Amino acid sequence: MLVRVKTLQPTHRTYQYLHIVENRWEHGRVRQRIVGSLGRLDQLLASGDLCQMIEGLVAQCPQVRLLEAQRQGALTVESDRVGTGVDL
């Protein structure tokens, strides 16, 4: 899944919406299906909700938490590689 910005211009004004999108194979091609809509990008930025959503998602990712701890000096790492085979 990924986040996609969809730009619409129904009138003389342009709107950008954030959607959570799922990729899947259908008839030999990759098709995207919108799983959910997060709302208009300008409104999410103005309210601060976008940053809160991103911070909440990042908090669930162990690799990002390890990298942040390394940047803050709370973790010493001998290699800058973080592999997928590490059990966290």
Instruction: Confirm whether 77 is domain-assigned.
Output: no
More confident residue, 85 or 45: 45
- Indicate whether 30 belongs to any domain: yes
| Nearest alpha-carbon partner for 43 in 35, 34, 33, 53 | 53
Pairing of β 2-8 and β 15-26:
antiparallel
Query: Can you give the residue range of the structural domain that contains 6?
Result: 2-71
Per-residue pLDDT tens for 15-62? Answer: 999 999 999 999 999 999 999 999 999 999 999 999 898 888 888 887
Query: What sign results for the dihedral spanned by CA atoms 10, 16, 17, 20?
Result: positive
Is 46 within the bounds of a domain? Answer: yes
79 pLDDT more than 70: no
- Alpha-carbon distance of 75 to 79, in angstroms, equals 12
Please tell me the distance from the alpha carbon of residue 44 to that of residue 37, in angstroms, as a whole number: 12
- Number of domain units in the chain: 1
Query: In terms of pLDDT, which residue wins out, 80 or 71?
Result: 71
Q: What is the pTM of this model?
A: 0.63
Residue 81 forms part of a structural domain = no
